[in-house]
Amino acid sequence: MSPDTGPLYAEPMSTAPLGLGEAHFPARAPQRLEVSFEFSPPKTEAAERTLWETVTRLTPLRPTFFSVTYGAGGSTRQRTHETVVRLKKETGIEPAAHLTCVGATQGEIDDVARAYWDAGIRHIVALRGDPPGGIGGKYTPHPGGYANAADLIAGLKRIGPFQISVAAYPEKHPDSTDEAADLENLMRKVDAGADRCITQFFFEAEDFLRFRDRTAAAGINVPVVPGVMPVSNFQGILKMAGGCGSKVPAWLASLFDGLDDDAETRRMIAATVAGDLCRRLQSEGVEQFHFYTLNRADLTFAICHLLGVRPQRSSS
């Protein structure tokens, strides 16, 4: 567990090995948690095999939805569409397609949305998107395009009654001047019709809990779902965090120190850290979690198992 969060519960520890007793990690969640999983469209045949092995492993956990990312400037538009449609057809789990404002006119984006609607896709993750030059660059709306996520949501609602999820930032978006401005932007997205806010990844439970309190005080009355990123490649997460405004605490860096060539131990630590974070949030009333899987099943499956989210047992 992290030195900042402390024990998850106050009752005495179990005598089971490593303290993983039923009081701390129940065989089944007493009230089933809702989980969802994010994937990226594969770029190669090998990546496609890995993705569908991951989907096969995670589908029995009965997630609320799968989401599929959308590359900058629509670079994965066709692969996203194909992946989303196949998920719906083969798993029976409702998929959510990411859609951004970047690199396209309103008409072009509307055509993509209509194609999803015609394919039976009713859930969109509506995002402004990163600048065409990549994270860290200055964002400028595309000529004739949607200016921001709130405008995109309004446009989607004109096409059909999509369920819409949006991004939220417990540690504020890098482009926002301060937390107040960031919260105002989130409120505009909710006012435009967002049904759910999914947060950027974070590593301190208190950051999410304070953010949840701020959204409630602001009158945001849709679910605010924590986005969880299991960390096994620490250098990779440093790069990602630097671009999206998430801080990486010193205690996390110390846990991975000296493990550059020890992937197995990194995975064990990753599952422990993310599991501790989720249990802390669960103890504070959080009942929904969104996992950034990076198209790998093992860590996400293990964390869900610790949370009591497990495949349904056969009655036979």
Q: Is 38 a catalytic residue?
A: yes
Which DSSP string do the residues of 172-207 spell out, in sequence order? --TTSSSHHHHHHHHHHHHHHT--EEEEPP-S-HHH
Helix (H) or strand (E) holding 217: helix 205-217
Query: Half-sphere exposure (CA, 13 Å, Cβ side) for 151?
Result: 15
d(CA 198, CA 234): 23
Candidate list 38, 171, 206, 284, residue with the active-site label: 38
> What span, in angstroms and rounded, lies between the C-alpha atoms of 57 and 51?
10
Tokens of 228: 């969880």
Query: Which residue type occupies 75?
Result: S
Q: How far is 128 from 173, CA to CA, in rounded Å?
A: 12
**Alpha-carbon distance 53 to 301, whole Å?**
12
End-to-end CA gap in the chain = 38
Q: Which residues pair with 288 in a beta bridge?
A: 34
How many beta carbons lie within 10 A of that of residue 264, not counting itself?
A: 9
In whole angstroms, how far apart are CA 12 and each of 16, 107, 171? 12, 60, 34
- Active-site residues: which are they? 38
